[in-house]
Amino acid sequence: MSEVQTKANAQATAIDAIREFLSVDEWGEDGSEEHMIAFVLLASAFIGPNGTKIAAATGLPKGKVASIASRARRAGIWKAHHIEAEWGDEKCGGVALALDVATVLGLLKRS
């Protein structure tokens, strides 16, 4: 298996894991604004802050991903080549993700 195929398989596995994680009710109904933001943010942890690649990997509408990407950049969550997030923290990663979703929704502002 080539390096490209290995990377594609790993991304597909990560996207499947994200779908499973987000199936929990607290992330909103599938297709809701909160759900899509959480999906895009989590996908960016595996794919990088690239809306085009995230839309292709997740099957989410390109325009919706572009809108979320723009708001994530304005909020300071997405930088040019990396993500400013604490989602992987074992104790408070879920809270950090929820706060970042609220930030992208425009309900909070990072300081």
Q: What confidence score (pLDDT) does residue 56 get? A: 94
Q: What confidence score (pLDDT) does residue 68 get? A: 97
Residue whose structure tokens are 């929990």: 24
Q: What confidence score (pLDDT) does residue 20 get? A: 80
State the Cα–Cα distance between residues 81 and 83, nearest whole angstrom. Answer: 7
Q: Residue 77: what residue type? A: I
- C-alpha distances out from residue 95 to 7, 33, 45, 86, 89, Å: 29, 18, 16, 9, 10
- pLDDT surpassing 80 at residue 106: yes
Please give the structure tokens belonging to residue 18: 């994200």
